[in-house]
C-alpha cells in the first residue's frame, strides 16, 4: 500500500526568513530537518541541519549538512536560487520483507520537495524526508533529456571534534575493522555505514546511502580536506584495476540515491529498517521460490574443501543431520576429484534432500583473482547460459565474488546479475563486494552480502584472533544495521588461526548476526560434538525475523539482543571484555502481558569451551542473572507455554 496526502500541520515553513526556508518534522515530532541559506539570502549555498528531541531535551544532531552537485556542464552548489517548497506530503507505505530483521515494515515519513535554479536557470530539486527513526534526502534534476557527467557531489556532514565516532577505513571489499575516536584527527576515506554519538551523549546517528541504481556510482565518506567534515566522494580510479569511470554519467530526469541518517537511541539504530524503507519496492512479482535458510560451508575449515567430493558429501550430510536446507560448493568445484565430480556431488546433495549453492568468480579484468570459473557471470549471454545449466542441475543459488569497485559500471553489473538471476529463480549473494544499499527490498532474491571482516579472516593471519571479540560487538550497531551480513559465524573448532571467543559467544552470533542465507562455518565434527541442547538450538534457530529488539549494549563492549519469530523469541548476548567476567541482568520486558514462556538458556560454563544449560519459566516481569566469561556470551530460546 502506498499513499501520499497533504499534511500541512506536520511541516513548518518559515518562508519569510532569508536563512531558514523549511523545517520538516517526523511523524512522532522527535526529529526535525531544517533548510538554511549560508549567506542569509535567497540564493547562494544551502545546507541542512538535523535536530532530535526526547523527553523535553533538544539535541543538535548534525549542525550542518552541506549540499550541492557539480556537473561537467554546469554547477549546482554556489549560486542556487530558492524557488519554492512543495506542499508537504505524508508518505505512508506498508510492505513485507521476505528476510531481514523485521517482516512487516513501514515506510512512513513527512516529505517536502524544495526547488532551486542555478545561474543558468537550470533546475535542481532536493527531496527531504523526516522519519521517526531518521532523515533522508536526495537530489533530483527534473528536466528531461540529456546525459551529463557528475564531476563531484558536495554533500558533506559537518560535526564538532567532541563527537564520538566509529569508522572503518574504506577498502573496495569493505572488510576492515571499525575504530573509535572522539575527534577527526585521522583524515582519510571511510566506508559506510558510519556511527556517531553526539557530544552530550543524548543522541546516536548512523550515516549511509540507499536506493543506489544504475544511474550513479557508490560513494564513500572522506575527511581529508577538513577533519570535521565527512564529504561524499566517488570511487578512486584505481578501483577495479583501473577499469570503468570513477565519475558517474547521469541521464535526465534523474534522482540521486537517498542520503540516509538513522537517528535516536542505540536501540533505534539497531532496530531500524530505514535503508530498506526508502528503497525501490520489489521488481519481482512472484517470490515464493525465494527461501531463506541456513547453509553448511566447507571453506572455513578447509580452504580447498570443494576440490574433494568426499568433503562436499560430508557437508551435505551435516546439513541433512542438522536440518539446514542448503550447502555451499565454494571455489574449485570445477576441479573436483577424490571420488566424484561436480555432477556426482550435486546428485548426492539432492538425494539427501539438501539444495546446493555454488560459488563463481565475478570474472573480467576488474579483478586480479584468477580462480575459475571466472567468466560465466560476466555478460548477459554468459549468465543465461550458466543459469540454464544450473536450473537443470538443481542449483538454487549463486555466490559471486571479487567485484573490487563501486564505480557506475560495477553498480550496473551487480543489478544486471540480480535481474537475470530472478528470471531463472536463482538466489544470489555477493562477496568481495559493497555493503548493502537497500537492494534486498528491490531484489528480494539478493539474500546476503559479505562486505564485512568475518570469520574467514581466521584464515588470513593471527590478527583476527585478537580483534574479533571487540569487532563482533560493534557490527550489530554498524554494518548489520543496514542489511544482511555474511559473517559466516558459529565456529567451535579452529581454522588456520584460533579463536579465543568462548563457545557461548560463538553460539550467540547465530542470533546477533542477520543474513538471508546464514552460513554456519564449522566442520561437521565441530557440530556433532556439541551437547544435545546446543545442537537442538542450532537445528531450530531461524535466520529471518519478525521483530528485533536491542536489550542492552554499547559498541565495542557488549550487546544483548532479542529476535522474534512467530510466537517465539531468541536471545543472544556477547561480551568483548578480555579481563573480567560479566554478569548481565536479563530482563524480559519485551514479552507480552499475561503469557508465560519456557526459557532454555545456554550460557558459558566453567571454562570457555563448556556450556551451562538452564531451563526455567519466565514472563514479562521476570529477570535472570547471566554469567559471561571473558570474551563470553550466551543464547536463549523462549517458547510460550500453552
| 558 assigned to some structural domain | yes
User: 389 CB contacts (<8 Å, ≥6 apart)?
Assistant: none
Is residue 13's pLDDT more than 70? no
Domain with 632 in it: what CATH number? 2.60.40.1180
Is residue 7's pLDDT more than 70? no
| 634 assigned to some structural domain | yes
Is residue 55's pLDDT more than 80? no
pLDDT of residue 161: 87
pLDDT of residue 499: 96
| 117 assigned to some structural domain | yes
| 545 assigned to some structural domain | no
Over residues 407-427, the mean pLDDT reads 98
The string of pLDDT tens digits covering residues 306-354 is 999 999 999 999 999 999 999 999 999 999 999 999 999 999 999 999 9
pLDDT of residue 151: 98
Is there a contact between 371 and 363 (Cβ–Cβ < 8 Å)? Answer: no
Residues in the chain: 642
Half-sphere exposure of 257 (CA within 13 A, CB side): 28
The string of pLDDT tens digits covering residues 234-285 is 999 999 999 999 999 999 999 999 999 999 999 999 999 999 999 999 999 9
The string of pLDDT tens digits covering residues 116-160 is 999 999 999 999 999 999 999 999 999 999 999 999 999 999 999
CA distance 190 to 169: 5
Strand ranges inside 414-521, DSSP E: 427-430, 446-449, 517-520
CA distance 570 to 168: 29
User: What grid cell was written down for 525?
Assistant: 565434527
Is residue 375's pLDDT more than 60? yes
Half-sphere exposure of 250 (CA within 13 A, CB side): 26
Q: DSSP label at 458?
A: G
User: How sure is the predictor about 436, in pLDDT bands with cuts at 50, 70 and 90?
Assistant: very high
Number of domains in the chain: 2
| 64 assigned to some structural domain | yes
| 428 assigned to some structural domain | no
Over residues 401-418, the mean pLDDT reads 98
Range of the domain at 584: 554-640
The string of pLDDT tens digits covering residues 481-509 is 999 999 999 999 999 999 999 999 999 99
The string of pLDDT tens digits covering residues 502-536 is 999 999 999 999 999 999 999 999 999 999 999 99
| 395 assigned to some structural domain | no
Is residue 9's pLDDT more than 70? no
| 150 assigned to some structural domain | yes
pLDDT of residue 447: 98
The string of pLDDT tens digits covering residues 238-250 is 999 999 999 999 9
Q: How many other C-beta atoms lie within 10 A of the C-beta of residue 462?
A: 11
Q: DSSP label at 557?
A: T
Over residues 180-201, the mean pLDDT reads 96
User: What grid cell was written down for 634?
Assistant: 550466551
Over residues 100-110, the mean pLDDT reads 98
| Global pTM exceeds 0.85 | yes
Three-state secondary-structure class, residue 535: helix
Is residue 16's pLDDT more than 90? no
The string of pLDDT tens digits covering residues 315-324 is 999 999 999 9
Angle 194-559-208 (CA atoms, 0-180°, nearest 5)?
A: 15
Is residue 294's pLDDT more than 80? yes
CA distance 569 to 598: 10
Domain with 232 in it: what CATH number? 2.70.98.10
pLDDT of residue 20: 78
User: Which among 215, 244, 277 is the end of a domain?
Assistant: 277
Is there a contact between 282 and 160 (Cβ–Cβ < 8 Å)? Answer: no
Average model confidence (pLDDT) across the chain: 95
pLDDT of residue 269: 98
CA distance 584 to 574: 10
CA distance 360 to 339: 23
Quote the percentage of the chain above a pLDDT of 70.
97
Is residue 423's pLDDT more than 50? yes
pLDDT of residue 12: 40
pLDDT of residue 18: 53
User: Which among 244, 277, 310 is the end of a domain?
Assistant: 277
pLDDT of residue 11: 41
User: Which among 213, 245, 277 is the end of a domain?
Assistant: 277
Is there a contact between 611 and 605 (Cβ–Cβ < 8 Å)? Answer: yes
Half-sphere exposure of 55 (CA within 13 A, CB side): 4
Amino acid at each position: 500500500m502506498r499513499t501520499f496526502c497533504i499534511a500541512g500541520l506536520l511541516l513548518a515553513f518559515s518562508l519569510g526568513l532569508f536563512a531558514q526556508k523549511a523545517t520538516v518534522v517526523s511523524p512522532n515530532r522527535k526529529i526535525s530537518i531544517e533548510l538554511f541559506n549560508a549567506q542569509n539570502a535567497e540564493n547562494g549555498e544551502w545546507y541542512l541541519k538535523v535536530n532530535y528531541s526526547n523527553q523535553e531535551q533538544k539535541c543538535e544532531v548534525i549542525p550542518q549538512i552541506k549540499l550541492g552537485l557539480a556537473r561537467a556542464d554546469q554547477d549546482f552548489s554556489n549560486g542556487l536560487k530558492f524557488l519554492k517548497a512543495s506542499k508537504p506530503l505524508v508518505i505512508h507505505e506498508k510492505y513485507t520483507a521476505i528476510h531481514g530483521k523485521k517482516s512487516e515494515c513501514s515506510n512512513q515519513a513527512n516529505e517536502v520537495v524544495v526547488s532551486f535554479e542555478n545561474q543558468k536557470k537550470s533546475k535542481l530539486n532536493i527531496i527531504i524526508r523526516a522519519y521517526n527513526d531518521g532523515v533522508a534526502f536526495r537530489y533530483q534534476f527534473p528536466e528531461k533529456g540529456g546525459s551529463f557527467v557528475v564531476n563531484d557531489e558536495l554533500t558533506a556532514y559537518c560535526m564538532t571534534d567532541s563527537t564520538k565516532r566509529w569508522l572503518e577505513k574504506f577498502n573496495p571489499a569493505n572488510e576492515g575493522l571499525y575504530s573509535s575516536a572522539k575527534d577527526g584527527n585521522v583524515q582519510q576515506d571511510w566506508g559506510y555505514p558510519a556511527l556517531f554519538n553526539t557530544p552530550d551523549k543524548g543522541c546516536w546517528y548512523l550515516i549511509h546511502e540507499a536506493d543506489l541504481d544504475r544511474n550513479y556510482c557508490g560513494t564513500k565518506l572522506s575527511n581529508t580536506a577538513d577533519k570535521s567534515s565527512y564529504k561524499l566522494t566517488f570511487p578512486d580510479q584505481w578501483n577495479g584495476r583501473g577499469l570503468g569511470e570513477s565519475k558517474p554519467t547521469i541521464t535526465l530526469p534523474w534522482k540521486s540515491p537517498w542520503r540516509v541518517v538513522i537517528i535516536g537511541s542505540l536501540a533505534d539504530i539497531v532496530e531500524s529498517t530505514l535503508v530498506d524503507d526508502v528503497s525501490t519496492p520489489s521488481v519481482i512479482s512472484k517470490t515464493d521460490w525465494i527461501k531463506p535458510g541456513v547453509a553448511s560451508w566447507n571453506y572455513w575449515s578447509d580452504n580447498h574443501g570443494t576440490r574433494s567430493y568426499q568433503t562436499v558429501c560430508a557437508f551435505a550430510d551435516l546439513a541433512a543431520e542438522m536440518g539446514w536446507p542448503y550447502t555451499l560448493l565454494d571455489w574449485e568445484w570445477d576441479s573436483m576429484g577424490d571420488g566424484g565430480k561436480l555432477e556426482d556431488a550435486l546428485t548426492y546433495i539432492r538425494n539427501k534432500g539438501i539444495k546446493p549453492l555454488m560459488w563463481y568468480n565475478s570474472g573480467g579484468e576488474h579483478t586480479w583473482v584468477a580462480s575459475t570459473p571466472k567468466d560465466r557471470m560476466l555478460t548477459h549471454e554468459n549468465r543465461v547460459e550458466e543459469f540454464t545449466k544450473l536450473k537443470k542441475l538443481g542449483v538454487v543459488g549463486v555466490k559471486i565474488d571479487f567485484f573490487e569497485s563501486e564505480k557506475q559500471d560495477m553498480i550496473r553489473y551487480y543489478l544486471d546479475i540480480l535481474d537475470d538471476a530472478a528470471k531463472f529463480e536463482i538466489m544470489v549473494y555477493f562477496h568481495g563486494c559493497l555493503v548493502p544499499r537497500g537492494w534486498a527490498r528491490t531484489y528480494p532474491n539478493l539474500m546476503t552480502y559479505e562486505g564485512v571482516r568475518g570469520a574467514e579472516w581466521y584464515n588470513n593471519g593471527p590478527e583476527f584472533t585478537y580483534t574479533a571479540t571487540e569487532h563482533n560487538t560493534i557490527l550489530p550497531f554498524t554494518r548489520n544495521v543496514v542489511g544482511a551480513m555474511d559473517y559466516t559465524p558459529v565456529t567451535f573448532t579452529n581454522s588456520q588461526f584460533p579463536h579465543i571467543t568462548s563457545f557461548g559467544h560463538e553460539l550467540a552470533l547465530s542470533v546477533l548476526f542477520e543474513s538471508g542465507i546464514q552460513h554456519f562455518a564449522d566442520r561437521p565434527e565441530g557440530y556433532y560434538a556439541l551437547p544435545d541442547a546446543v545442537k537442538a538450538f542450532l537445528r531450530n534457530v531461524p535466520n529471518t525475523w519478525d521483530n528485533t529488539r536491542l536489550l542492552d549494549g554499547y559498541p565495542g563492549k557488549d550487546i544483548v539482543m532479542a529476535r522474534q519469530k512467530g510466537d517465539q523469541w531468541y536471545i543472544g548476548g556477547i561480551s568483548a571484555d578480555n579481563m573480567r567476567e560479566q554478569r548481565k541482568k536479563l530482563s524480559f520486558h519485551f514479552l507480552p502481558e499475561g503469557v508465560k514462556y519456557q526459557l532454555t538458556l545456554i550460557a558459558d560454563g566453567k571454562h570457555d569451551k563448556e556450556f551451562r544449560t538452564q531451563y526455567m519459566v519466565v514472563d514479562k516481569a521476570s529477570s535472570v542473572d547471566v554469567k559471561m566469561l571473558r570474551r563470553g556470551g550466551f543464547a536463549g530460546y523462549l517458547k510460550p507455554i500453552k
